[in-house]
Amino acid sequence: MSDAEKTPEKDQVCQTPPVSEETKPETTRIVKAGPSVKTYIPKTMDLDEFKKLPLTQQKKLMKHELWVQRADELKEIKKQKKKQVRKRRNQRQAQEAAETGMSRCSLKRQKLETQENSNIGLVLDMAFDDKMDEKEIKSISSQVMRCYSANRQAAKRVNLHMTKLHGKLRERFDTAMPHHVGWSSDHVQMHEKEYLELFDKSDLVYLTADSPNVIESLEPGKLYVIGGIVDKN
């Protein structure tokens, strides 16, 4: 057997060059540690009283206070973002008023007067009042308000209806959102009756994710029903 045909010895086959410290991959991940109970200073009780609590109670109180603090910070951030949005909107409207020589109110009125009706109906079925808790009621109310606002600003509005408005949701509109009484009936209509009592069944299309049918376009003259429910479970 020639030298070229010799098989390398086992230790030569398995041997790999040593990895230097410089070529080792970095595997250490730096994680920012939260405050320690030992050094934490409570906001809602005296420090001496805090130290007398069992360790589990100390941790629980610290976690709650930090959560409240973070929630307040997020609330302030959200507030500032809304403030910036209003500022940009006001600047845009002021620019439009300067370019056209019309006041903001006149511009809004002109947009509403030139707005077209798409002849497409959208029905928010609010019959699920008893299926939502207080937080979800608040969320669906805000979404309805955004729907109304979007419908007013659209170049072509839909015929927006809220049906079976009752219970906790009706109460919220009457107490926390009393300005809804001034909403234009061209952009939303509120009904206590169910949609089947108000509209011809042949004109209704109930939209649901459970249907195998995929809708490709909206047909004028039809009313598309959406379940007015927020379920975050």
Catalytically annotated residues:
231
Q: Contact at 8 Å (CB) between 190 and 197?
A: no
SS3 call for 91 = helix
User: b or e along 76-112 (b: 16 or more beta carbons within 10 Å of the residue's beta carbon)?
Assistant: eeeeeeeeeeeeeeeeeeeeeeeeeeeeeeeeeeeee
Question: Pairing between strand 223-227 and 156-163?
Answer: unpaired
Compute φ and ψ for 116, nearest 5 degrees: -100, 155
Distances (CA, A) of 208 to 120, 159, 212, 225: 18, 20, 9, 9
Say how many C-beta atoms besides its own lie within 10 A of residue 232's C-beta: 8
List 161's β-bridge partners, or say none. Answer: 123, 189
